[in-house]
């Protein structure tokens, strides 16, 4: 299971997330655009924003922390139109179930994005 964090890092690198200095959008019609926000030097947010009933909704929206020296990345939070989950709900506490489930979800989502051609060109 430990390798999933390396897999996530490698896929983020392939998508081109680490080349984003502030904000970028990858468009792959007919699919939803992928929005990439660099929140800090080691934290990024990825989201796809469908319009539902005339309102733009982040679904999904994931915040991810990267550790470049280890070539690993882990999800910190997940949000969609029905729920929000936090891996670290408060200082010193880890929701291991959320951490494991969100890591698996993020790994699958990144695989799906790559299979659809979501790769940022500089």
Task: Domain count for the chain, please give it.
Answer: 1
Structural domain includes residue 25: yes
Within a domain: 120 = no
Reported confidence tier of residue 2, pLDDT bands at 50, 70, 90? low
Residue 122 domain-assigned (yes or no): no
Structure token digits, residue 48: 């796809």
How far is Cα 72 from Cα 6, in angstroms, rounded to an integer?
A: 4
Q: Is the pLDDT of residue 1 over 50?
A: no
**Cα–Cα distance measured from residue 120 to residue 17, given in angstroms and rounded to the nearest whole number:** 7
pLDDT in tens, 93-120: 999 999 999 999 999 999 999 999 999 9
In a domain, 14, yes or no: yes
Q: Which domain does 23 fall in, by range?
A: 3-115
Query: Which residues, at least 6 apart from 55, have a Cβ–Cβ distance to it below 8 Å?
Result: none
SS3 of residue 3 by DSSP: helix
Dist CA 87 CA 16 (whole Å)? 24
Indicate whether 68 belongs to any domain.
Answer: yes
CB atoms within 10 A of CB 7: 16
pLDDT of residue 56: 75
| Residue 43 domain flag | yes
Q: Do 118 and 28 touch, CB atoms closer than 8 A?
A: yes
Q: Is 71 inside a domain boundary? A: yes
Question: Shortest CA distance to 76 belongs to which of 60, 91, 59, 89?
Answer: 89
């Amino acid at each position: 299971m430990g390798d999933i964090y390396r897999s996530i890092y490698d896929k983020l690198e392939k998508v081109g997330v680490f080349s984003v200095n502030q904000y970028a959008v990858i468009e792959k019609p007919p699919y939803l655009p992928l929005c990439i926000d660099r929140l800090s030097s080691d934290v990024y947010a990825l989201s796809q924003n469908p319009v539902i009933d005339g309102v733009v909704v982040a679904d999904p929206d994931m915040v991810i922390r990267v550790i470049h020296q280890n070539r690993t990345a882990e999800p910190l939070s997940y949000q969609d139109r029905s729920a929000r989950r936090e891996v670290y709900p408060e200082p010193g506490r880890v929701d291991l179930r959320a951490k494991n489930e969100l890591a698996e979800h993020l790994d699958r989502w990144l695989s799906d994005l790559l299979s659809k051609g979501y790769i940022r060109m500089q």
